Amino acid sequence: MNEIQRARIILKILNQTYPRIKVPLKSRNVFTLLISVLLSAQCTDVNVNNVTKKIYPKYYKPHHFVKLGRSRIEKLIKKIGIFRIKAKSIYNLSKLLIKNYKGRVPKTFEELEKLPGVGHKTASVVMSQGYGFPAFPIDTHIHRLAQRWGLTNGKNVIQTEKDLKRLFPKKNWNKLHLQIIYYGREFCKARDCYGISCKICTTCYPNRKKPIITKKA
């Protein structure tokens, strides 16, 4: 079975398992989506949602966070990992959005990735979930699963993104990256499946006996 055949099987199983998918991070608009994705680095979606549900009803525009200032932003997000660094990024990107984009979140990868604290993965999520632009955000979980499933060599997340975009139709990207995340959390867990027990692994590799060691992103 080659990688193209595996990709077709994987897409079929994921569509059967998750015919409808919800965006895990809760947001009020594209700006708050950007903030939530930034906050989710080294933090669970559940924790981010628990923190932001007390913030977004009142603060949901760049000028709200500029007016708050860094110290007050820190207090609001202190339950989230590396909150001081994230508070600095939120404050500075909010100022930039007001100065350069009239308070709106830009709609290009290039402009998004110039914002403080915003890397390619964060920009991809905003473009995908915020603007519906075909994108394939790659986090550590998708990177791990793509290796287990024989879709990439695990060299780095950049290579993984290229490989997945090559193997799957563009029309599926936005939904697919979420399906993979959910499937990994529920069935192909890092310390549970090991590449030998879930439906995707057993279908794609029926003769696999030993756990698969994946390369970190």
Catalytic residues: 121, 139
Determine how many CB atoms are found less than 10 A away from the CB of residue 49: 17
Tokens read off for 62: 């760049």
CA separation for the pair 110, 90 (Å, rounded) = 18
CB-side exposure of 24: number of CA atoms within 13 Å?
18
Angle between helices 30-39 and 83-101 (to 10 degrees): 150
Q: Are 118 and 112 in contact (CB under 8 A)?
A: yes
CA separation for the pair 151, 167 (Å, rounded) = 8
Nearest alpha-carbon partner for 137 in 89, 173, 186: 173
Instruction: Compute the residue count for the chain.
Output: 217
Amino acid at 193: C
What is the DSSP annotation of 130-166? Answer: IT--------HHHHHHHHHTTS---S-HHHHHHHHHH
CA angle 97, 106, 173 (to 5 degrees): 140
